Amino acid sequence: MKKVLFSLAAAALLSGALAAPVKLHTVPVTVEPNARLLTLSDAGIAKAFPTASSRPDAVFMTEDRKVTVAFEWREGRLAPAQVSDLVTQFPAVIRAQVPNVKTLRAGLVQVGGTPWAQFVFTTPGQGDDVRREFLITSVQGRTLVVTIAANTGDYSRNETVVRNLVNSVRLS
């Protein structure tokens, strides 16, 4: 019995340690990843996103490698007051740039006390629809974009892990 209690206590301490806040090195963001997420190295990001101009600054991937959560701090200016305007303006941009959008939902959400414009849309895929989610906010007058990408079924299986990561985002 002592052995079981010790193992449970060790597991609780370990999971708490894994949830310690992590400052992303090139993005003014702190997150709390967990053991079910992998962090891509700079080399891994370069391999997964070969075009430098559209390469994210940080990428997390679910342990089954089916869902990516990418952080991109863009040079483009965005004032905090403009975030809510994106909710009505950006859906037209998505529909113009992404072929065959099946569903598109736009709204304003709060993450860590900060307003984010959220866009969730699906497009046809091979065997399963592709789900994309953009979360966009202003940080230091610049645009921060978090992109969550997966097939719909893969996202559903990993939703708790992904939402926990997103809900842990704190701007610095």
Residue 14 is classified by DSSP as H
Q: Which two tokens stand for residue 97?
A: 């740039």
Reported pTM: 0.87
Instruction: Please check whether residue 8 lies inside any domain of the structure.
Output: no
> In this structure, is residue 2 part of a structural domain?
no
| Stretch 130-134: mean pLDDT | 98
Q: Give the chain's domain count.
A: 1
The pLDDT score that the predictor gives to residue 20 is: 82
| 6 part of a folded domain | no
The CATH number covering residue 51 comes to 3.40.1000.10
What value does the mean pLDDT take over residues 132-143? 97
150 occurs within a structural domain: yes
Query: What average pLDDT score do residues 98-105 get?
Result: 97
Model confidence over 40-90: pLDDT tens digits?
Answer: 999 999 999 999 888 999 999 999 999 999 999 999 999 999 999 999 999
For 34, other C-beta atoms within 10 Å of its C-beta total: 15
Q: Domain range spanning residue 128?
A: 20-171
Write the CB contacts of 112 (distance below 8 Å, at least 6 apart in sequence). Answer: 167, 168, 169, 170, 171
